[in-house]
Amino acid sequence: MNRKAEVKNLNFSYSHSALVLKSVSLPIFENKITALIGPSGCGKTTLLRCFNRMHDLYGNVKYDGSILLLPDQVNILSTDIDPIEVRMKIGMVFQKPNPFPKSIYENIAYGLRIRGIKKKSYIDEKVEDSLKMAGLWQEVSDRLHTGANSLSGGQQQRLCIARALATEPDILLLDEPTSALDPISTAHIEELVASLKKKVTILMVTHNLHQAARTADYTAFMYLGELIEFGESSQIFTNPKEQKTENYITGRFG
Amino acid sequence: MKTEFSTPHSTKRRFRVLKEFLIKAFLFICAASSVLVTVGVVWTLVVEALPFFDDVSLSQFLFDREWTPLFENAQYGIMTLVCGTLLTTVIALLVAIPLGTITAVFLSEYSSEKMREIFKPILELLAAIPTVVYGYFAMLFVTPLLQKIIPGISSFNALSAGLVMGVMIIPYISSLSEDAMRAVPLHLREGSLALGASKFQTSFRVILPAAFSGVASAYILGISRALGETMVVAIAAGLQPRLSFNPLESTQTITAFIVQVSLGDLPQGSIGYRSIYVSGLVLLIFTLVFNLIGQLIRSNMEKKFK
Ligand SMILES: Nc1ncnc2c1ncn2[C@@H]1O[C@H](COP(=O)(O)OP(=O)(O)O)[C@@H](O)[C@H]1O
Ligand SMILES: [Mg+2]
């Protein structure tokens, strides 16, 4: 199995407070879905946002350790690396759907345009491909130029996934992508995410254990900033090695 | 215990209903008073202005090439004053809209909290300076400066007045635009940045369009301020109505004409007296039309995006 990335001894703290991530190490396998689970406040979002250097936007944070992108072994946390170039390679979908106040078409074209792509035929093609990949093409192909805010919440989230896919990221980060959606839209997104792993490596935070068990190939359980256990989802959910993991997945805390 | 309800005619209940009615009436009167004043102003303008056209034909008003209502052989070409008004307004907006917008982007997207704390009060001070001061600043400082750069420029000119008026309007535009931009939710910013966009791309391609409704309101306010500004243009642009868009010459705006003649003694009901009202009415119409166009554009954009 190919590794796409490797987190090594990652420590992280906000301003001067205590460590939020404590020496986290974890492999990310290529074309697989890895789920991050754990009680709220355990550092899942913080870890996820290290992957695209989102923390750099706010200063006042401290981190050390590395996230190596394989096979090149580049440490994307290194200060020598431009965060913007990292974000060009690693896409992200947020908890709440956040389409831009532009048309459906322009939402997807945006990522291409900021990369300097101008050719209309190429953009047209990319918009169609990404929407098809996100399972949204049939629903919106006749109204590409209407505002994205006219879509339902679930459609908006799929649009955001399409927007991230259009730029062909190496890794796609998803932070509780269904927590703001109804059950039907959630099921749609889960199916979609499962189908996407052929194209892209996925790292997904979820508070929904069933979602992790259903869709993820690997699961990492975090607790109070530590990575307690990492393994294939089937093993984590049926036969956890750590007592804390077992307590969590059986609902004894969290 | 039995729950008790009051009967419709109980004193307590009648009193409560009356109280509510009085409160509502009071609030209505307060709200209506500003509407009434507006109606009153417009009414006076129209009533006093209309007799003007007993003596002057509409075609004289629109097509005369000069505006000399107080002279013998009077001419009534309002377009001269309209030219002056539009010219100074356009110059002011060419300064205020770009600079105001850029200032807003800087304050909302780039500056630190500390920097903002220094910048904002200074900008607000800019808005608090009396317009007479701006007028003399234009005439005594900016015009001589311009004269060094552009030799042929006259000592009263539209350019100087327009530029200074633009600076004066910057805070109105920047402050409202900044509020609108800061109200754009953080997750839109992060959505753009996460795609690999720079701060600059995010500011101008996502945040500014997302804040468009508020920014457009700021522009509309700026336009209204520029159209109605009086002292700066009266002092620095001169008192010479001209059917021209040459910014290097002196010109006269509608507002400047109104102060000029209001300062003199005009017999009530004379044609000069009426000309004040008629030009005031034209100014009001212009302001309304610009406001209306602005609102239309804004609601159109909103429909397109939302
Ligand atoms: N911007 C921030 N500034 C300071 N502390 C933060 C910030 N964001 C998160 N935290 C703290 O870091 C810890 C981990 O948060 P987070 O990564 O969001 O957890 P999770 O996503 O697992 O719920 C929490 O204790 C939270 O209070
Ligand atoms: Mg979280």
Chain-chain contact of B196 with A150 (C-beta, under 8 angstroms): no
Nearest CA in chain B to A109: B195
What CA–CA distance (Å, rounded) separates A62 from B210? Answer: 32
Distance of CA A44 to the CA centre of its chain: 11
Those residues whose C-beta lies under 8 Å from the C-beta of residue A70, and which sit 6 or more positions away, are A2, A3, A4, A5, A6
Work out the mean pLDDT of chain B and round it to a whole number.
90
Domain parsing of chain B, residue ranges: 60-304
Domain parsing of chain A, residue ranges: 3-249
Residue B305 pLDDT class (50, 70, 90 cuts)? low
CA distance A228 to chain B (A): 28
pLDDT of B34 strictly over 60: yes
Give me the pLDDT at residue B25, please.
95
Residue type, A35: A
Nearest CA in chain B to A108: B195
| Average pLDDT for B242-261 | 90
Picking from B190, B196, B305, the nearest residue to A94 by CB comes out as B190
Handedness of CA B93, B94, B98, B99 (dihedral sign): negative
Residue B124 pLDDT class (50, 70, 90 cuts)? confident
State the Cα angle at B206 between B298 and B123, rounded to 5°: 75
Give me the pLDDT at residue B66, please.
87
| A21 bridge partner residues | A12
**Pick among 1.25.40.10, 1.25.50.20, 1.10.3720.10, 3.10.20.30: CATH of B60-304:** 1.10.3720.10
Q: What is the pLDDT of residues B67-79, one digit of tens each?
A: 888 887 888 889 9
Q: pLDDT above 90 covers what percent of chain B?
A: 61
pLDDT of A253 strictly over 80: no
Q: How far, in Å, is the centroid of ligand 1 from the Cα of A44?
A: 8
Give me the pLDDT at residue B282, please.
93
| Average pLDDT for A147-153 | 90
Which CATH class, in words, describes the domain spanning A3-249?
Answer: alpha beta
What CA–CA distance (Å, rounded) separates B167 from B103? Answer: 12
| A137 in contact with chain B, both atoms CB, cutoff 8 A | no
* CB pairs < 8 Å spanning A and B: 71
Q: What are phi and psi of A145, to 5 degrees?
A: -100, 15
Residue type, B73: N
Look at residue A166 and give its three-state secondary structure. coil
- Chain B residues within 8 A of A176 when measuring between CB atoms: none
Measured CA to CA in angstroms, residue B93 lies from B105, B164, B236 at distances of 17, 11, 17
Pocket of ligand 1 (CB under 6 A): A 14, 20, 38, 40-46
What CA–CA distance (Å, rounded) separates A88 from A52? Answer: 9
Q: How far, in Å, is the centroid of ligand 1 from the Cα of B203?
A: 26
* CA-based R_g, chain A, Å: 18
Chain-chain contact of B196 with A111 (C-beta, under 8 angstroms): yes
What CA–CA distance (Å, rounded) separates B169 from B84? Answer: 18
Q: What is the pLDDT of residues A202-238, one digit of tens each?
A: 999 998 898 999 999 999 999 999 999 999 999 999 9
Pairing outcome for strands A61-69 and A74-75:
antiparallel
Look at residue B146 and give its three-state secondary structure. helix
- Chain B residues within 8 A of A84 when measuring between CB atoms: 196-198
Predicted ipTM > 0.85 = yes
Q: Report the first-to-last Cα separation within chain B, whole angstroms.
A: 54
Q: What is the pLDDT of residues B284-293, one digit of tens each?
A: 999 999 889 8
pLDDT of B303 strictly over 80: no
Those residues whose C-beta lies under 8 Å from the C-beta of residue A62, and which sit 6 or more positions away, are A11, A12, A13
